[in-house]
Amino acid sequence: MRNDVVLSSRVRLARNYEDIPFDVSGRPEFAAVCASRTVNALKAAGVDKGFDLFRLKDMSDASRKAMAESRLISRDLLNNAQSAAALIRPQDAVTVMMGEDDHLRIQAIRPEMDLLSAAAACFRVDDALSRQVNFAFDEQLGYLTACPTNTGTGMRASLLMHLPMLTKAKKMGDVGQLVAKVGLNIRGVYGEGSEALGNIYQVSNQVTLGRTEQELIATVTALGNQLCDMENALRDKAKNEGRIPLEDMVFRAWGAMTNARLMPLNEFYQHWSNLRLGAAMGLLKLPLPLVDALLDHAQEAHLCVWAEEALSGAALEEARATRIREMLGMAK
C-alpha cells in the first residue's frame, strides 16, 4: 500500500513583501515588520482563528528545536532565533514561518500521501494574505524569492518516504537517477543537507519556475507512486522468498526497542526502520501512527522537553530507551 511507504506530505509556499528587502535574518527591524504585518493581515482576513504565535527568542532552546524535529518549522529558522517567528495552527499542521531566507514560508503537512489537501491548506492562507498585502511578483517570472530556485510558483511539494528495502538492496543510486530525470530532488529526513536516517527520504521538486502548481504536485505524486511500487515489490519478494531473515530482523528490532535501557540515536534509527517495516508488513501488530510518532519523540529536544531538563550522554540515551518502552507499551 502507498501509505505504508509514505509517512507524510508537505507543501510549502515562499512569499516576500514587495516593499521590504529580501532576507531579513540579519535585520531585526524588518523581521518585526514582517511578523506584525502577517499577524494583522490574517486577522483582517478573518482566518487567524486557531493560529498561535511563537516568537523563537521567547522560547526555550529545547522547545523551538522540538518544533523543528517535528518539521513544524524548518531547521534554518532556528538560525535566526532572535528575530524569527512562526504562526502555527496545530489542529491541521499549518505553519507560517516568518524571518527565514524569505519573508514568509507557508507550510502544511498531511499524513500519508495527500499533497492536494496540503496544497489547498497553503493556498487558503496565501489567498487570505494576498487580499490584504502585496507580495513581490513579476508578470513573467512569478513570485520573487531570495533563492532563484524558488522563483516562479514559490512552491515546494514533498513526500517523506520510508524506503528500507530499496536501501538494503542498494537501489538508491538507481532511484537518484530516476528522480533527477523528472527534475526532482531526493534528500534526507530533514531536507537539504541532511542524512537519510532510518531509511527515510524526502522527495521534492527542485525548481518552481515555468511549471504550474498542479504540474508540480502531479509530478511529485507520480514519482511517489512509482517509488512505492518499487519498494513494495521488494517487500513482497522478501516476504515470499526470505521470510525467516525478514522476521529475524524485525523481531530483533522489537526486542531491542522494548527491552534496551540505553538507546544511542544511530541505533534507534536502525531499529526504528526495521520496526516500521514489520508494522507495515503486518509482522507486528503496531499502528503505524504510533511508530511514526516515535520518530519525533526519540529526538534530543523532544526528550529534554519530556524530561523537563537538559540531557546529554548516557542520560539522554537512558531517557530515549525509557520513552520508547513507554510509547510501545501503549500498543499492548
What does the pLDDT read at residue 191?
Answer: 57
* Other beta carbons within 10 Å of 197: 18
Exposure string (b/e) for 80-116, b if CB count within 10 Å is 16 or more?
A: bbebbbbbbbeeebbbbbbbbbbbbbbbbbbbbbbbb
What does the pLDDT read at residue 223?
Answer: 96
What does the pLDDT read at residue 193?
Answer: 53
Q: Give every strand in the sheet of 200-205, ordered side by side.
A: 52-55, 85-89, 94-98, 104-111, 6-15, 155-162, 200-205, 184-187
Closest CA to 250 of 325, 165, 189, 171: 165
| 152 HSE (CA, 13 A, CB side) | 16
CA–CA gap between residue 309 and residue 300 (Å, rounded): 11
What does the pLDDT read at residue 53?
Answer: 96
CA–CA gap between residue 78 and residue 67 (Å, rounded): 10
Distant-in-sequence, close-in-space partners of 82: CB < 8 Å, separation ≥ 6: 28, 56, 57
The separation between CA 229 and the C-alpha centre of its own chain, rounded to angstroms, equals 22
CA–CA gap between residue 182 and residue 218 (Å, rounded): 11
Segments of the chain with pLDDT less than 70: 1, 190-195, 332
Spatial contact of 159 and 184, defined as CB atoms under 8 Å apart? no
Spatial contact of 214 and 221, defined as CB atoms under 8 Å apart? no
With cell 500500500, the residue in question is 1
What does the pLDDT read at residue 4?
Answer: 94
Closest CA to 119 of 210, 205, 18, 223: 205
What does the pLDDT read at residue 274?
Answer: 98
Secondary structure (3-state) at 53 = strand
Closest CA to 332 of 278, 286, 273, 280: 286
Spatial contact of 152 and 208, defined as CB atoms under 8 Å apart? yes
Provide DSSP, 153-196. T-EEEEEEEE-HHHHHTT-HHHHHHHHHHTTEEEEBTTBTT---
What does the pLDDT read at residue 25?
Answer: 73
What does the pLDDT read at residue 192?
Answer: 57
Secondary structure (3-state) at 107 = strand
Render pLDDT for 27-74 as a digit per residue (tens, 0 to 9): 888 889 999 999 999 999 999 999 999 999 999 999 999 999 999 999
| Inter-residue long-range contacts of 219-226, CB under 8 Å, 24+ positions, other chains counted | 219/182, 219/183, 219/184, 220/115, 220/157, 220/158, 220/159, 220/184, 221/113, 221/115, 221/159, 222/182, 223/178, 223/179, 223/182, 223/184, 224/2, 224/6, 224/113, 224/159, 224/161, 225/2, 225/113, 226/178
Closest CA to 204 of 237, 157, 246: 157
Spatial contact of 257 and 287, defined as CB atoms under 8 Å apart? no
Pull the grid cell for residue 123. Answer: 493556498
What does the pLDDT read at residue 52?
Answer: 96
Amino acid present at 147: C
CA–CA gap between residue 164 and residue 86 (Å, rounded): 33
